[in-house]
Amino acid sequence: MKIERITPFLVDRFLLVRVYTDEGIVGNGEAGLWAHHKSVYHAIEELSDYYVGKDPRRMEHHYQVVSRNTHFAGAVLSAALSALDMAMWDILGKSVGLPVHQLLGGKCRDRVKVFANVVGDSVEARAESAREQVEAGYLSLRTMPFFPDWEQKTPTQVIDDAVAIVAAIREAVGDGIDLGVEIHRNLRPEQAIVLAGELAPYRLLYYEDPLPPESVEALAYVARHVHLPIATGERFYAIQQFKDLIDRQVVSLIRPDLSLAGGFTQLKKIAGMAEAAFVGIFPHLMGSPVNVAAFVHLDAAIPNYVLMESHTFADAYNEIVDEPVTREGGYIRVSDRPGIGVEIVESRLAQFPYRPQKITGYFHADGSVAH
C-alpha cells in the first residue's frame, strides 16, 4: 500500500487532513494548533513531498524520519505530523478491519468519562449552569473562575471572584461531583499560590494551567507551595517536554493533545511514561468531530486515562462526518468501527468556510498585556 496524495482542508476553525492510498483507503486526521492553522496547512503540503509514495502503515518510522531529518522542531511541525499520524492509524485500522483502540492494545473501558464546562457572567449563573450539567448526567465539571472583565481588576479582586464562583458551584452540586478549575495560564506565581490556598477547602480534582507553559521551574515553585493537584501540558508538543514534567514530580495530571503532541504514535508512549509515575492522562481536546472521535480511541486504550472535555461545541459540525460519536450523559461510547470510526464527508465541508484566528490581545487596566 502506498500514499498517493494528501489534502488538507481549512474548515471553520479546524484543520482537517485526508490521506489517500493506491488501494482506495482514505485516512482522516486533524491538526490541533488552532491559532495557527494556515502555517500548519502549508507544513502539511511540504511534508507531502516525503509521505507520497510511502507505506502509510509505518507510522513510527515516518515520525522518526521527519522529526529527526534536520532536528528542527516546534508546534507547527508537530501539529502537522500529528494530523498525518492520526490519518495513517485510521488507514491501518481500515486495512485490517479493526478500530484504532484495538490496534493500541484493546479497550481498557467501554465508555469514556468526560466533563462539562460551567459558564456564566455572574456567580448565580455559574451555579445554575452547574446544576443544569449535573441534571444532564455529568459527574465531572470544570470552570474558568474568572469573569469577562478580570483583566481590569486587581489580583485581590480576581481571587475574591474566583473563590465566590467555586464556592457557589460546590454549594449548587454538592461534594459528590468532581470539580476542576481552569486557570488558563492567567496568573503569576504569587497569585496562583494565594488562590490555591483559598480554593483548598472546595475539594478540587485539579488546578489546571496556573501559569504560562514556558517555565517548568516556575511551575515547580508553585507546586511546592500549594496543596491542589496540578494539571498542565496542553501546549506541549514533544515527548521530551512531558518527560521533564513527569520527572520533576510537579503534576498529578498531564494534558497531551493527540492532534499536537505527535498523534497516536507519540501519545501512547507519553501515556506509558505517565503510567509508570502514577500520573493521569487528562487529554486536551480542541477541534471538530474528527478529533473527538480519534481522542476516544486513545482514551479507551490507556489505563491511566482520567477524563477529557465533552466538547459539545463540536456537535454543530457533526455534518462533516458520517457518524459522529454517541454521548450518554457524562460519557462517550467507544466505537468499534474500523479506524478512528468516522469518515470526513468532503462534499459538506464548503458549508463551513474557514475562520482564521485574529490577534487582538488582552490587556490589564494599565495597558500592559494580560495572559
Q: Which three cell numbers, joined as nine digits, stand for 264?
A: 497516536
Angstrom distance (rounded) from CA 130 to CA 133: 5
Rg over alpha carbons for the chain, rounded to the nearest Å, is: 21
Instruction: Say how many C-beta atoms besides its own lie within 10 A of residue 288's C-beta.
Output: 27
Query: Would you tell me the crossing angle of helices 239-247 and 263-276 to the nearest 10 degrees?
Result: 10
Task: List the catalytic residues.
Answer: 184, 284
For the chain, what is the HEC assignment? CCEEEEEEEEECCEEEEEEEECCCCEEEEEECCHHHHHHHHHHHHHHHHHHCCCCCCCHHHHHHHHHHCCCCCCHHHHHHHHHHHHHHHHHHHHHHCCEHHHHCCCCCCCEEEEEEEECCCCHHHHHHHHHHHHHCCCCEEEECCCCCCHHHCCHHHHHHHHHHHHHHHHHHHCCCCEEEEECCCCCCHHHHHHHHHHHHHHCCCEEECCCCCCCHHHHHHHHCCCCCCEEECCCCCCHHHHHHHHHCCCCCEECCCCCCCCHHHHHHHHHHHHHHCCCEECCCCCCCHHHHHHHHHHHHHCCCECCEECCHHHHHHHHHECCCCCEECCEEECCCCCECCCCECHHHHHHCCCCCCCCCCCECCCCCECC
